[in-house]
Amino acid sequence: MKLEGIGAFVAGGASGLGAATARELVARGARVAIADLDGDKAAALADELGAGSVAFRADVTDEAEVEAAVANAVEALGGLRFAVGCAGIGWAEKVVSKRGPAQLQPFETVVRVNLIGMFNVLRLAAAAMNDNEPDADGERGAVVMTASAAAYEGQIGQTAYSASKGGIVGMTLPAARDLSSRGIRVVTIAPGLFDTPLLAALPQEARDSLGATIPFPPRLGRPEEFAHLTCAIAENVMLNGEVIRLDGALRMAPR
């Protein structure tokens, strides 16, 4: 699809990978709806991006909030042809430690936000795209989901996070097949180590050390590199049902 003039929806779009994606979409001429649990931060980014950008507070795990955000985005932008899901959280805990078995509630919360929340965005964005007139390729829209390299090589303490991201990887192909008759594509990006707010709290020495574990380039990924890939996926109609690792050939060690 051509990004110029389309309506796009970015869940978790107020910071990190989502914010970079919103900025890149606007730079390429798209009109963007930024949805985030932090409504004030989303509104500030929409103001920064200027006319054609709108913001909504939405918890990805809340059916009504995401449904309202998508509906409002369609109304404000005049339609929706592209959606990117970037909302996610992490939790580190071993299955069994000196304290005993892992807590169940944090595991449930991570899966609910990262996996169920992603599916919530996917299903509601795709339903909105279903009303679009198909373009010359028969396409009505595309959705990009965010997994992680941890879906493949989860480290010690990452059972919850890896399970949630592995679930996104697992649902990519069947979702693409489900939506193929409607002309809606589904692709997932699995980033490696990226310079996001999650890593920003670490000392620079620790950040440099993490970056050095990446074969090439030997540095943390930049959010704008993730954003460039989301736009390339939107523009290439043959990309469908695939999970793309964006990790500089990184393969995570156990710890």
Give the residue numbers annotated as catalytic, written as ranges.
161
Q: Are 110 and 83 in contact (CB under 8 A)?
A: no
Are the C-beta atoms of 47 and 34 separated by less than 8 Å?
A: no
CB-based burial, 195-222: b 16+ in 10 Å, e otherwise: bbeeeeeeeeeebeebbeebeeeeebbe
Cα(98)–Cα(32) distance, rounded to whole angstroms? 47
Element (H, E) at 32: strand 31-36
Query: If you ran DSSP here, which 8-state letter would residue 116 be given?
Result: I
Q: Helix axis angle, 63-77 relative to 117-129, nearest 10°?
A: 40
SS3 for 92-103 is: CCCCEECCEECC
